[in-house]
Each structure stands twice: as C-alpha cells, then as structure tokens.
C-alpha cells in the first residue's frame, strides 16, 4: 500500500523531494514484481499468452516512471560565473542550491587538460593548476563574445598563464596543451558539470536551464553563452541578468520596495535598480563594467608581489610560469583572508632559484596596504552606480535596500563605498555566492508554471540603433527600455536615386557608429513586396537579402523588435520613386 501511495503521489507531482532511497525501493519493488509474475507464468502456465503480455505490459508501464534516469521537465538555474559557478532547482516553491560531487555548493569555473590529455572541470582542474599552468583555463568568461583585437582581450593576454589565440573568425580563443577552444566550449564544459550535478541530485536527465549573465553583456556575449548551453546539451529557456536574478531571490518572500543590487563578482561588475511591488519585479535601470571584478584585484596584488620580489631578490618572476601561478593562487588566498583579518602572511618557499640557490618569498600584507593597492578598482564602481540612479530617475533617499551580490562584496572597503554611494548600510540578507543561481531557478519555476505569483519586467542594458550619414550612431531603442519592445523610424537616403540601401545595426552607447559593437550589416534593394523581414534564426553578419531593381530609393522605414535581450526581428520597408 505504501508503494502504491508513493506511486500516486509521483504521478500527481506532489512528492517533489522524495528521498533517493525511497525512489530506489519502489524501482526494486516493481522490477521484482515483473520478475515474479514472469516466473509464475512460465512454470504454472496459468495465464494465457495474451493475458501474460497484457499483465507484463501494465507492470512495465507502471515501472517506466521509476527508471534510473528518466527525462524530467525541471528547469534548473545556473549561475555561470567567472570564478565560481552554482546550480539550483525549485523544490515546490522554494529554490535549493545543489552540492557538487566534492560536497561544495559552488564549483570553480576552471577547465584543464592534463599531460595525459584528460579533461578536468571544477575542483580537480583547479587543484592541478600550479603544476599545469598553460593547460589550465580560468576566467574564460571574460573572453566570451570578444574579438582577438579587443583592447580588453589584449589586456587579458598579459595577465594569464595560458595562450589566447586568434580564431578563424577573429574571435578570441584559448589554447591548452596544444588544443584550441572557444570560450563557449570552455563554458559548455562548466555547464555540463552543473548539469551533471543537478542530474545526480534529481535522479533524472535535465535538458532545460535558465542561465545568468552580467547585466551589461552585449548581444554577442549573450549569444555565445546560449551557444555554450547548446553545446552542453541544454535548451537555454532564458538568459537573465545576474542582478535581476539576485533580486528575485531576495523578493521571493513578499518583500517590497525600491532596491539596488550591487554585484561585484570575479570578472564583472553590475548595478541595477528595481522596484518590487505585489510580486512584480520591475527593473528601472542597469549599468556596469564587464571588465571589473575579483580577477583584477588578484592581478593588481600579483603585480605588487612580483615587484616586491624583484626589488628584494632582483629576479623577475613573470618569466617563470610555475612561479607565477603559485603567486596568483597566493594572491587570491590573501585577498580572501584580508576580508576577515587585518593582516596575512604570504609565504612561498622555493618560489624560484638562481646561481646562489633556492629563493623564498615571505611578505606580510596588511589590509590597509591591500586597500591602497586596489583603491582605484573599487572607485571604478562609483560612476556606474551614479549613472544607474540617474537613468532610473531615483534618488538615494528612495532606495529602501542595497543588496550585495558576488564574492568581492565581502571586502570591507567595497562595503564602505557602497554605504557612501547609497547613503545606507547594505543588506546582507542574501548569500552573495548563491543568490544569483537561486534567482535563476525561480525564473525557471516561473517559465515552467510552478511559480505563478511573480512577474519580471527587465530592460535592455545597451542602446540599439543603426549607422546614419557621417558615421553617426542613431538610436532606435534606448538603453534601459523595458522589454519586449518595438521601435520604428523613417529615414531618408543619403543621396538621390540610390539603387540600394546599406544598413548597419549596432549596439552600444558611443555617439560614433565605429565605436559601438556591430550587430550586422544588411544591404537592401528593390522589392515588389515592400517589406523585407529578417528573423533572428537566419542572422549572420554580412548576410543580407539583396534584390536589385531598375528604380531608385528615396526613403526607407526601419523597424527593430527586441525580446528577452535579443533582437528577434529586423524589418525594412523601402519607398521607391
């Protein structure tokens, strides 16, 4: 009777947290039932062959829902971080962070290929980083969606032990022990690890996920993240902004008011202003810096340690990759320790050697010295916060709470500047490492229909427009516009009697088109049907419908449609002489 009750509960989806042991017990029960009935039929012959088939068929139908790895319709939430990643799932109406195989709730976003050619992800990859610096990839999220010639890519090349190479399409890829990978492929391996963690906990195959990205990610970076999910075998149901996800986690328990989310993670910084009212989460504005985070703090401290050792021992450690990797890990450890202590010892014996023998590094680092080194980095968070408040049309006095998200918000100096900017002490009611993944799981619950009382209204972080005469960037959809949205505008041609019109779609905030991110270039000619419509699934840079005619164009009507941070359609109507 107990097994029947459990079966019915599972079929009604009321038992959502049944233990694995109970699950396996029922599996064994039905498997044994089938086996016993088959033996009885074989030896006693008491059931006709057609009856036996029906009986076994019925029992097989009952046992099927309890197979070892059924395909579930759960939508997991994944925080794909620069330094660490986290996965969560909804249990009823409560988000739960899932521990990985190592027993920790976050997983290092590290990928490696060891000397045997084995692929390692997470903690095992991070552990062997000291002995395999060129084959260990960390912080690859900072390269996702970026070109090789991007100034930020060139800056990153000088700070990482592995190679950053130019891909055939001009993107920045990484090389580990002679093998080349795109940042999307690295991200896919990390997402696969998150997927497997969730599958191990839930006991079923996972195919759907909500993945978070920094709020200030552009379209190319968001698409590269979706590509990573596709490679990992995940149908990415939605890409949502990290601060928005954190706000969902915070406001799940009927909390209301205007909140600011200050998200300083391992590689990026975001700030968002939201208003929560009656279950509606309305993002007012968002801002940030996609190249400001804990990695920069580590690099600054690393440079200091290198310079101190060179001053005392006259040896440049930047030429020794193994020593540099040891220094990098020591810098990260010291940074973490200084969040709770006033000083720490950095002690690395046998860091290198010269003709006189082995050399050791021993430096005492105080919190005040650390804060002095990273002061400029912390100060860089001020301008995005002020711009976000301005765009949201909200004064400091109207902010009810300030949420801290991301591991770097544990640094006391960061908390001080947050209090200074917003005029109040930040709230520490959410876990800075887990809030984003929990919010993503809540969004998954909304999409699945399990959470019906919440509504999320997000915004587009960057303006979208086209290039007009003189190389000017003309905005059609301004930043911080609530999505989904549609904007249309009429433009005249640059000259009379034009046979074609070239339209360059761009994303960014700079006044000159050349300084913004190119979305695509499209050439349109005479079309009898009037409208030429391009859909997202057919998008390819420099790929455009071209229809030539014997008449000239005098004006064109351009329309952009954006949904969930993605340009879904782009339509042009030509006005001909």
490 CA to centre of own chain: 36
Catalytic residue among 41, 74, 79, 171: 79
User: At CA 390, angle to CA 384 and CA 391, rounded to 5?
Assistant: 85
Measured between alpha carbons, how far is residue 490 from residues 464, 468, 474, 518 in Å?
A: 16, 12, 12, 21
Max distance between CA atoms of the chain, in angstroms, equals: 94
Catalytic choice (156, 171, 227, 263): 263
Quick check: is 263 catalytic? yes
Angle at the Cα of 539 from the Cα atoms of 536 and 544, rounded to 5 degrees: 125
Beta bridge partners of 566: 563
Catalytic residue (one of 41, 74, 156, 242): 242
Helix (H, G, I), strand (E, B) or coil at 112: strand
Side-chain-side CA neighbours of residue 424 (13 Å): 16
**What does the DSSP 8-state code read for residue 99?**
P
**Does residue 79 carry a catalytic annotation?**
yes
Asked if 458 is an active-site residue, the reply is no
Q: Half-sphere exposure of 247 toward its Cβ, with a 13 Å CA cutoff?
A: 37
Task: Give the residue from 362, 365, 359, 350 showing the smallest Cα distance to 301.
Answer: 365
Q: Which of 141, 193, 226, 573 is catalytic?
A: 141
Q: Could you give the CA distance from residue 332 to residue 328 in angstroms, rounded to a whole number?
A: 6
Instruction: Write the CA distances from 420 to 293, 386, 415, 424, 480, integer angstroms.
Output: 19, 12, 9, 7, 25
CA 425, chain centre distance (Å): 28
Edge-to-edge, what's the strand order for the sheet holding 163-166?
163-166, 172-176, 179-181
| Structure tokens that stand for 56 in this block | 């076994």
**318 — phi, psi (to 5°)?**
-65, -20
Tokens 């909304």, residue? 446
CA distance 372 to 386: 23
171 belongs to the catalytic site:
no
Using CA atoms, how far residue 538 sits from 505, 506, 514, 533, 545, in Å, is 15, 17, 24, 10, 11
Q: How far apart are CA 132 and CA 460, in angstroms?
A: 40
- Cα dihedral across residues 96, 100, 102, 108: positive or negative: negative
Structure token pair of residue 52: 């036996």
C-alpha dist (Å) from residue 328 to 219, 276, 298: 32, 41, 7
Catalytic sites, residue numbers = 79, 141, 242, 263
């Amino acid at each position: 009777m107990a097994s029947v009750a459990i079966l019915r509960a599972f079929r009604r989806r009321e038992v959502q947290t049944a233990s694995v042991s109970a699950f396996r017990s029922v599996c064994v029960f039905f498997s044994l039932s089938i086996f016993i009935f088959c033996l009885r039929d074989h030896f006693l012959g008491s059931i006709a062959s057609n009856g036996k088939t029906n009986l076994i068929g019925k029992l097989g139908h009952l046992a099927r829902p309890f197979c070892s790895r059924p395909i579930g319709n759960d939508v997991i939430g994944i925080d794909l971080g620069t330094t660490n990643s986290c996965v969560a799932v909804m249990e009823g109406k409560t988000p739960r962070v899932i521990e990985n195989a190592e027993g920790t709730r976050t997983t290092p976003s590290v990928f490696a290929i060891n000397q045997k050619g084995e692929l390692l992800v997470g903690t095992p990859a991070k552990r062997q980083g000291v002995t395999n610096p060129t084959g260990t990839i960390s912080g690859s999220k900072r390269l996702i969606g970026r070109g090789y010639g991007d100034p930020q890519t060139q800056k990153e090349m000088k700070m990482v032990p592995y190679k950053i190479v130019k891909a055939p399409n001009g993107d920045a890829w990484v090389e580990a022990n002679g093998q080349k990978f795109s940042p999307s492929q690295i991200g896919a391996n990390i997402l696969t690890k998150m997927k497997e963690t969730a599958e191990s906990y839930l006991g079923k195959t996972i195919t759907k996920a909500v993945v978070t990205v920094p709020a200030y990610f552009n379209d190319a970076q968001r698409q590269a993240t979706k590509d990573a999910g596709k490679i990992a075998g995940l149908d990415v149901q939605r890409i949502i902004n990290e601060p928005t996800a954190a706000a969902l986690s915070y406001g799940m328990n009927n909390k209301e008011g205007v909140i600011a989310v200050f998200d300083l993670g391992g590689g990026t910084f975001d700030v968002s202003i939201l208003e929560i009212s009656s279950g509606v989460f309305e993002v007012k504005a968002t801002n940030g810096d996609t190249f400001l985070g804990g990695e920069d703090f580590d690099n600054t401290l690393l440079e200091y340690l290198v310079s101190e050792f060179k001053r005392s021992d006259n040896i440049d450690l930047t030429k020794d990759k193994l020593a540099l990797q040891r220094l990098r890990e020591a810098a990260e450890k010291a940074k973490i320790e200084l969040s709770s202590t006033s000083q720490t010892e950095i002690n690395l014996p046998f860091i290198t050697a010269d003709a006189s023998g082995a050399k050791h590094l021993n430096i005492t680092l105080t919190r005040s010295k650390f804060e002095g080194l990273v002061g400029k980095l912390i100060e860089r968070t001020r301008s995005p916060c002020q711009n976000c408040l301005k765009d949201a049309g909200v004064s400091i006095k109207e902010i009810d709470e300030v949420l801290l998200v991301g591991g770097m918000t544990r640094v006391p100096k960061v908390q001080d500047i947050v209090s200074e900017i917003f005029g109040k002490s930040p709230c520490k009611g959410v876990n800075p490492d887990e809030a984003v993944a929990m919010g993503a799981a809540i969004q998954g619950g909304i999409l699945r229909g399990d959470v019906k009382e919440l509504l999320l209204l997000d915004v587009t972080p960057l303006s979208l427009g086209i290039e007009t005469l003189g190389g000017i960037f003309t905005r059609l959809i301004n930043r911080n516009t609530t999505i989904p949205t549609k904007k249309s505008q009429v433009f005249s041609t640059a000259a009379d009697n034009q046979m074609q019109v070239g339209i360059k779609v761009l994303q960014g905030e700079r006044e000159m088109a050349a300084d913004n991110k190119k979305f695509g270039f499209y050439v349109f000619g005479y079309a009898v049907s009037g409208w030429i419509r391009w859909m997202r699934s057919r998008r390819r840079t420099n790929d455009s419908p071209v229809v030539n005619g014997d008449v000239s164009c005098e004006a064109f009507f351009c329309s952009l449609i954006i949904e969930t941070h993605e340009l879904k359609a782009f339509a042009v109507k030509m006005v001909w002489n």
